[in-house]
Structure 1
Amino acid sequence: MTKIEIYSKGYCPYCKQAKATLNSLGLAFEEYEITGNDKLTREMQARSKRRTVPQIFINDQHIGGGDDFHEALRSGALTHLLNQKIV
């Protein structure tokens, strides 16, 4: 089963767009709401080496932010990642 994680903030339009896209594709994901949560914010920054949201991971591989995610969808890279087996 594919593991999808997204770090987000409730007021972020890019986060809402990425989650809507995941939902429209029928993909289940775990959301980490980091607004006001310093521990999760530090965790996201350590994992992604970035400070902005959303940050998306598939099977523990960093996909990037909203633009990166949508580019992976357009290019077909997302389909490839979703079809990889977890070892």
Structure 2
Amino acid sequence: MASVVIYTREFCSYCTRAKSLLDSKGVEYVEHNATYSPELRQEMISKAKGRSTFPQIFINGEHVGGCDDIHALDQAGKLDLLLAA
């Protein structure tokens, strides 16, 4: 199974939706809650090449985007391939 990292913040419906998708697929992931951590937020922005919205998701170290992006990958049938790598 792939290594998945997701940067989130509290009270974020997009974060909840992204995690629900991953949970529905049985994916284990590392969650970094950046709600009260400017350092984690800066780390996320740096890794996501300037994207600052939540969530930001990384699969096997590759930035795949946010909630809409991961759902689009799933609808295109590409998410399972990334997760199986």
Gaps of at least 5 residues in structure 1 are none
Q: TM-score, normalised by structure 2?
A: 0.94
Distance (Å, rounded) in 2 between the aligned partners of 1:78 and 1:23: 13
Q: Which residue of the partner structure matches residue 25 of structure 2?
A: 25
Q: Deviation at 1:54?
A: 0.4
Figure out how many residues of one structure are paired with residues of the other and give that number. 84
1:45-60 correspondence to structure 2 within 5 Å: 45-48=45-48, 49-60=50-61
User: Which contiguous aligned blocks of 4+ residues in structure 1 show a shift greater than 4 angstroms?
Assistant: none
Distance (Å, rounded) in 2 between the aligned partners of 1:76 and 1:59: 18
SS at match of 1:22: helix
Distance (Å, rounded) in 2 between the aligned partners of 1:23 and 1:78: 13
1:6-85 correspondence to structure 2 within 5 Å: 6-48=6-48, 49-84=50-85
Q: TM-score, normalised by structure 1?
A: 0.92
Q: Aligned Cα RMSD in Å?
A: 0.9
SS at match of 1:5: strand
Distance (Å, rounded) in 2 between the aligned partners of 1:15 and 1:9: 7
The percent of aligned pairs where both chains have the same amino acid is 40
